[in-house]
Chain A
Amino acid sequence: MTTPPSGPHEASAQDDPLARAWREHWGRTVALLLGQFARPDLVEDAVAEAFASAAQRWPQDGVPDSPGAWLLTAARRRVVDRLRAEAVHRRKEPLMVVDARTRAAASASATDPSTGPAEDEHLLDERLRLIFTCCHPALSAEARVALTLRFVIGLDVPEIARLMLVRPTTMAARITRAKKRLTASGIPFDVPPAGRLDERLDVVATVLYLVFTAGYHPQPGDEPLRGDLGDEAIRLARVLDSLLPGHGVVRALLALMLLQHSRRDARLDPDGHLVLLHDQDRSRWRRTEIEEALPLLRGLPRTTGQAEAYRLQALVAAEHATAPAAASTRWDVIAGHYAELEDLTGSPVVRLARAVAVAELDGPDAALALLEGLETRLPDHHRLEAVRAELAWQAGRPQEAAAGFLRALALVPGGPEHEHLTERLAALRTEALTPEAEAG
C-alpha cells in the first residue's frame, strides 16, 4: 500500500506525470472551480480528491492525453455531487463574491476544458485572481501564507503545518477559518483595480517571499530543506511579472529569490549540515540563475517602500553572487546597502546583518558596538546571540564567546542550526585549550 501523494514534490523524478500535473494544474483547477462555484470549502476537497484519484488511476490506466482536463472534470464532478447532496438537505451555504462575467468564463472553461499546456489568457487571469484573493489584506498574514500554500501551490495541511512550525491540528483549524472568512467576509475573487495594484502587489510579494523562505527554514529532526518550494515561489513571481509587467516590487523580489536560490546546492554538506556562506563551494552556485537575476536587478531604479527593501537585499545577494571568492567580497558595498536598508525599514534584524558586514570591514569590536542593546528589540533571538559569540571569539574573548553560544543553543530546539552551534562551541573549546591559540 502506498501513501497518497501529499504535494507537488513528493515524486522523486522531475518528469513524473503526477508531480508535473500537480505543479501545472493544481492552482488553475482550484482557480477555475472557485470562479465557477464560489465555494472554497468544496473546491479544496474536490481538487484534493481528484489528484488522489489520479494517483490511483494513472499508474494503471495510463496518463490521460490532457491531464489538466482530466483533473478539472474529475474535480468538477465532485463539486457537483456535493452541491446535489446539499440541495437534497436544503442547506443553503454562503458563496464567495464572484462577479457574473468571471463565473460565466469559468463555467465555459470547466465544461469545455481547453487542452494542451498553453494557458489561454482567461486561465492566467484566473490564476491571478486566485493569488490576489489568497493574499487579500483583509486576511491575517498567517492566513494569507496558509491559503497560498494550500490553494495556489497545493501542499497538504500536514506539510504546511511542518513548514510553518505549528501542529497539524492548528494549521487545519487556521485553514478552515480562512476559508470561512473568504466566503463570509465579502472578499471578491478578483484582481484589484489599477489604482490599488501596487499596494496589493506589495502584500502578494510579502507572501511569496515568506513561502520562499519557508522552504529554507531549518526543520526539526531529519526533515530536509524544501528548496523546491523556492522553485514554486519563483515560478509564481514569474507569472506575476509576465502578466503585470513593470512593477518594481515583483522584479526586485524575483531577482532576490533567484540569487538566494542559486546557492541551494551549496547550503548543506553531504551529511546535511548547514554550510555558511563563507565556506560554501561557489562552483556549486547556479550560474544561470545568477545571470538571469543580475540584469533584472540592474534595470531597477532606486525607489521606496517594499520594492526598495527587496532591491537592496537583492543588491547584497548580488555582491555575494559575483564575488569570485569569499575573501574578495566587497564588504564595504554590502555594509552600505544594509545601512540604507536599515534606514528604510528600521528593522533590528537588518541591524544584525549590517553588523556582520561591518565586522568583516572594521573588525569585531566595531560590529559589537552596533549590536549594543539590540537584545531589547530582538529578545530571545538565537542569531543575535550566535553572532555576538562569533564576534567575541574573533576579538579573542573565548569565555564570552562560549557563554554566547550556550545562550544561542538554549534558544534553538534542534535541527541543522542547533548542530551547527554545537560544533562551533566544540571548536571554540578545543581552540581555547590549545596553547598556540591561547598565546594568540
Chain B
Amino acid sequence: MRFVVLLHQDEQVWRDASPTQREEYYRRHDAFAQVTSRTGCTILAGEALAGVETATTVRRRGEQVSVTEGPFAETAEQLGGFYLVEAPHLDAVIEASRELPEYTVEIRPAIDVA
C-alpha cells in the first residue's frame, strides 16, 4: 500500500529553533528513513514545504476561479511537509513515524483511481 504521511506543526516552532534543535530535526528525519527501510517500507517521495505565507489557494466553483493568498484553512498547526511511503501496512508507517520530530502526523492510504 502507498501511504501519504502529512506532517503538521506550528511554524513558529521551526522558526524559533536553534541550530542544535534543527540538527535534532534532521537526525530524526534520518531515523524515520532508517526505520522505514528496516520495516519493509520504501520512501517514494518527500518534501519540506515553504511556510504558509507563501501558499496560494485556487478555488474553482463552476466557471468561477478565484486565486487568493494564503492556505486553504487557517489553523494553529500547518502542513509543513509530507512523505509518500510504500509500506506493507499501517503499523509499519506508525512505527517509522514515532521517530519524527514533535509533529502531528496524519497518515492516509493512497487509493488507486481506475
| Chain A residues near B (Cβ < 8 Å) | 92, 94, 97, 99, 138, 184-188, 190, 192, 196
By Cβ-Cβ distance, the 9 closest A-B pairs, closest first, are: A186-B90, A188-B89, A97-B89, A186-B109, A186-B89, A186-B1, A187-B90, A188-B91, A185-B90
Chain B's nearest CB lies how many Å from the CB of A379?
Answer: 27
30 A/B residue pairs, CB under 8 Å, sorted by A? A92-B114, A94-B111, A97-B1, A97-B88, A97-B89, A97-B90, A99-B88, A138-B90, A138-B94, A184-B109, A185-B90, A185-B109, A186-B1, A186-B3, A186-B87, A186-B89, A186-B90, A186-B93, A186-B107, A186-B109, A187-B89, A187-B90, A187-B91, A188-B88, A188-B89, A188-B90, A190-B89, A192-B91, A196-B91, A196-B95
> Which residues of B from 74 to 114 have beta carbons under 8 Å from A?
87-91, 93-95, 107, 109, 111, 114
Q: Interface majority SS on B: helix, strand, loop or mixed?
A: mixed
Q: Which residue of B lies closest to A200 (CB)?
A: B91
CA distance A92 to B94 in the complex (A): 27
Residues of A within 8 A of B89 (CB): 97, 186-188, 190
Residues of B within 8 A of A138 (CB): 90, 94
| Chain B residues near A (Cβ < 8 Å) | 1, 3, 87-91, 93-95, 107, 109, 111, 114
CA distance A272 to B114 in the complex (A): 59
CA distance A134 to B87 in the complex (A): 21
Q: Which residue of B lies closest to A98 (CB)?
A: B89
Q: A97-B89, A99-B88 are in contact. List 4 more A-B contacts (CB 8 A).
A: A94-B111, A185-B109, A187-B89, A196-B91
Residues of A within 8 A of B1 (CB): 97, 186
Residues of B within 8 A of A190 (CB): 89, 91
Residues of B within 8 A of A186 (CB): 1, 3, 87, 89-90, 93, 107, 109
Residues of A within 8 A of B109 (CB): 184-186
Q: Which residue of A lies closest to B98 (CB)?
A: A196
Chain A's nearest CB lies how many Å from the CB of B96?
Answer: 13
Chain B's nearest CB lies how many Å from the CB of A21?
Answer: 32
CA distance A68 to B90 in the complex (A): 32
CA distance A192 to B93 in the complex (A): 13
Q: Which residue of B lies closest to A192 (CB)?
A: B91
CA distance A10 to B95 in the complex (A): 42
Chain A's nearest CB lies how many Å from the CB of B2?
Answer: 10
CA distance A187 to B94 in the complex (A): 10
CA distance A92 to B111 in the complex (A): 12
Chain B's nearest CB lies how many Å from the CB of A140?
Answer: 15
CA distance A138 to B92 in the complex (A): 13
CA distance A440 to B64 in the complex (A): 83
Residues of A within 8 A of B111 (CB): 94
CA distance A136 to B45 in the complex (A): 28
Residues of A within 8 A of B3 (CB): 186
CA distance A196 to B92 in the complex (A): 12
Q: Which residue of A lies closest to B94 (CB)?
A: A138
Residues of A within 8 A of B107 (CB): 186
Chain A's nearest CB lies how many Å from the CB of B98?
Answer: 10
CA distance A196 to B94 in the complex (A): 11
Chain A's nearest CB lies how many Å from the CB of B48?
Answer: 24
CA distance A138 to B89 in the complex (A): 12
